[in-house]
Amino acid sequence: MTVKQLSVFVENRPGRLSAITKLLGDANINIRAMSIADTKDFGILRLIVDDAEKALKVLKDEGCSVTITNVLVLRITDRPGSLAQAMNALYKDNISVEYMYAAFINTESNTACLVLRVDDNDKATVALYDSGYKLLSQNELG
């Protein structure tokens, strides 16, 4: 079960992040999770939104360089050691995590959600389900 993630190449200059988030807001697209990694000249803005296809069109129409990648959204218990246990479930099946970022924490249910980019989504899904973990679907995020 994968979720669509947008990766947007952003020039590292004042106002670019503001312009991109305004485009999405004006198009009534809700950002569910985000991460940005930067270098001196550019950044990669990774977004989980409620309507990835619409966001892709909006951003491309404005000349943004953007791609869609399938990622996993993992729900874990928000307590010390939970992340280590989930990573061990992947490690046992020799699955590599390329990157990860926190999506949201729910204090009422005592859970945290993480976005994972792994080398094999299908294999990781099986490994996580077999270890008792819950993956969220695109619909659950929208």
CATH number, domain containing residue 121: 3.30.70.260
Q: What pLDDT score does 38 carry?
A: 79
Task: Give CA separation, 118 vs 25, 69, 109, 127, in Å.
Answer: 29, 11, 26, 12
Written as one letter, the residue type at 137 is: S
Q: Domain boundary residue among 46, 70, 94? A: 70
Q: Looking at residue 8, what is its pLDDT? A: 96
For 128, the domain range is 71-141
pLDDT at residue number 11: 86
Q: Are residues 103 and 47 in the same domain?
A: no
Task: Please identify, among 70, 99, 123, the residue that sits at the C-terminal boundary of a domain.
Answer: 70
- Mean pLDDT per 10-residue segment, the chain (142 residues): 94 88 96 88 92 96 95 94 96 96 80 94 97 91 68
From the list 133, 40, 50, the residue with the least C-alpha distance to 84 is: 133
Among 37, 11, 31, CA closest to 99:
37
CA distance 75 to 139: 15
Task: Report residue 67 as tokens.
Answer: 């791609």
- CATH number of the domain that residue 39 is part of: 3.30.2130.10
The predicted pLDDT at position 39 comes to 78
The total domain count for the chain is 2
CA 98 vs. chain centroid, Å, equals 12
Please check whether residues 84 and 120 belong to one and the same domain.
yes
What is the pTM assigned to this prediction? 0.89
Interatomic CA distance for residues 11 and 65, integer angstroms:
10
